[in-house]
Amino acid sequence: MYPTKNNLPETVRSTVIDVLNARLADAIDLQTQCKQAHWNVKGPTFIALHKLFDEVNDDVEEYVDLIAERAVQLGGVADGTARSVAKRTTLVEYAARGPGALDHVQALSSALSTFGKAARAAIARTADLGDADTADVFTEISRGADKWLWMIEAHETTER
């Protein structure tokens, strides 16, 4: 760890940095899955989903920066290389292989759900460690992930 005048104990900072890097892997993986959906979706809802997936990606890119920068603020290193992400992510492999809109909606909603669940666990873990600032970062991320999950899941629903 790098020296810092941050007054959180080094043991706390070290553990929080591990949590941050784990969620950083998920966030980067989620970002690539958003782009995978954005690039490959086709069908009658193409333009709406193409734009939606890009908007989700934009917010996820902000989550990536929030997480990575918090790790560095605490004296750590943000570990966001492609190889590291592939080893650490808890998201499942992106499931949609064809152009079908519903397949991409379902794949991305599943990834967002997993990501949101992990963010909520990180809120609890970092709060328990006494790092309210990192818990707040994850709270912001959780709210955003839930919002995007709601918007994407709306495309799965049909009227009855």
**CA dihedral over 126, 130, 132, 134, signed as positive or negative:** negative
Mean pLDDT, range 86-98, rounded to an integer: 94
**Which residues are registered as beta bridge partners of 100?**
42
| Residue 8 forms part of a structural domain | no
Write the pLDDT tens digit of every residue in 137-157: 999 999 999 999 999 999 987
CATH number at residue 102: 1.20.1260.10
| Residue 13 forms part of a structural domain | no
Q: How many domains does the chain have?
A: 1
Query: Model-level pTM?
Result: 0.95
| Residue 128 forms part of a structural domain | yes
The yes-or-no verdict on residue 160 having pLDDT over 70 is no
Write the pLDDT tens digit of every residue in 25-75: 999 999 999 999 999 999 999 999 999 999 999 999 999 999 999 999 999
Question: In Å, what is the CA distance from 80 to each residue of 66, 69, 113?
Answer: 13, 11, 21
| Residue 71 forms part of a structural domain | yes
| Residue 137 forms part of a structural domain | yes
